[in-house]
Chain A
Amino acid sequence: MFEPLFSESRSRIDRLQIGALCGLMLVGVLFVYSATMVTDAALSAPLYKQKWLLQIVWYVLGIGAATALCFVSYQTLARWGTIAYWCGMILLALVLVFGTVRFGARRWFDLRFFLFQPSEFAKLAFILALANFLSRPEAELAEPVSFWKAIGMMLLPFVLILKEPDLGSALVILPTGLVLLFVAGFPKKYLACLGGAVGILAALFLVDVLWAPPGWWQIKLENYQRQRLLVYFGTDFAPANATAEEKAAAHHLQMEKSYQVHQALISVGSGGLWGKGWHKGNQTALGFLPPGAAHNDFIFSVIAEEKGFVGSITVLTLYGLVLFTGLRTAGQARDRLGKLLAVGVVTLLFSHIFINIGMNIRIVPVTGIPLPLLSYGGSSVLGSLIAMGLLQNVYLYRKGYLT
């Protein structure tokens, strides 16, 4: 389509992808501005404290890091995969002990000027390590041992992140790992069994959380996690045999907990076709969309309210471009490692997008994961851009291109 402009065979870097990324970064700055510059405190804060400016700083840092990564071929990087993986796991273990607690979860290291979230980097290290592991000859993969090792590599970060607790980030690891296993070339029956097992476990899990009467073996979920699932399914918070008082209290709690989702839905829905105009959305200005969430987890609601359906589809298109150029890169990768890396990064991105936007329109229960590149947050931006750097790296060394 853009052949004359983006002639693939001749360019070193994937221009379409870069273009889409720049579009996304622009959208990110604009809407972080719109979402944060509503309270008096924000408007009167000095320039260096304003979030949209900080977001630009993170973008610059991220682009720098991604560019630096591209100087080294991805095959070299992959050799460090195992070490990166174990460093990541150690950091995840450490954060459980030494991390600071915010909003009831211990996910961050407080580095004075910046909150470092190790799970973002652990995800990338995991992709690198798993792609490296899976890029061995297919004959080796046919052995059951490799299969279980791969699953083990997937479950370790999953459990560690789950313990923080951070259900959202843990949840993204699963699809990424599963797709990598799928693309890697395991024998079909292994994958079929795995798929079946995952399905059954998920169903059992849901049934247990939603309908298990107390006294039976209930899976230990944090209160707020259970409540989020209940809110999503619209189930009554109080069990059927509660007294009227308990029901009233439970109803009150339910209203409180559904508040965020309800407000997000109102924001998205009231945008209509064209939206209300940049920085003219009521939900953030009037404080209905909680200001703590508006500029990160629910940034999509702000975009949807202010730019309407047209805006939302534009954002989806930009993400789609990134995803499909990534897949194109995977198809053109020189070796299986490159293909696996590309697929891993793209799936990670897709999971984030699907869960976050789904959360904003209530087709997925609320989980605290950011929207890549659009949500405010240093670790998230850095992680996303470094992942993009990896993708470009694979593209740089694609087949048919003379180094």
Chain B
Amino acid sequence: MSEILDRLKKAILEYDVEGAGNIAANAIEEGIDPIDAVDVAIKTIRQIGDGYSRGELWIPDLVGGASAMKAAMSVFEDELKKKGKKRQTLGSIVIGTVHGDIHDIGKTMVSTLAEAEGFEVIDLGVSIKAENFVAAVSEHNPVILALSALMTTTAFEQRKVIEMFKEQGMRESIKVAVGGGAVTEEFSQSIGADGYAPTAPMAINLFKELIGIGGQNE
């Protein structure tokens, strides 16, 4: 591995967001192939994920590592776009907290872990209206739509989103995963979702199951 990619790896392992972004920019300036750089970033975050699986690392480590990785990835993604290349991912996920709900943290944990696992994540943010989920899915053509709702008041909004996909004739072309504090397995079935996960790490396994690659970490 080149010296600069070694430094990138170190920055991600130290959860150094600014450093990872800067090193990524330097790597591109030095002419490193962004595909190779992405490979290093993902392998590094997997290393952190493995530490978590072994019980040696914790959620703050996952989120720290994922934040550093994301800072580097956005540089590499821009470069790939410029060169007209596409990196290998497990597929893309459109994710957001439903309309009327401004809770961000659970959804962000899922986003960062999914990125780390190798998905491309399009995070729409919080309080997203049903029609905006439809528009984002039309634009990005993801494999999974993930909806978050923390409150009992807004869990019903998840049903509204699913209903709108049905109305638009788009329900069959997408897997819908739901989660959040107010959601249960039973509720997810009652609103016609494809899957439910109670925690962020379990959501990642669910995503992998939904696209047919098994529920275990590599």
| Chain A bound to chain B | no
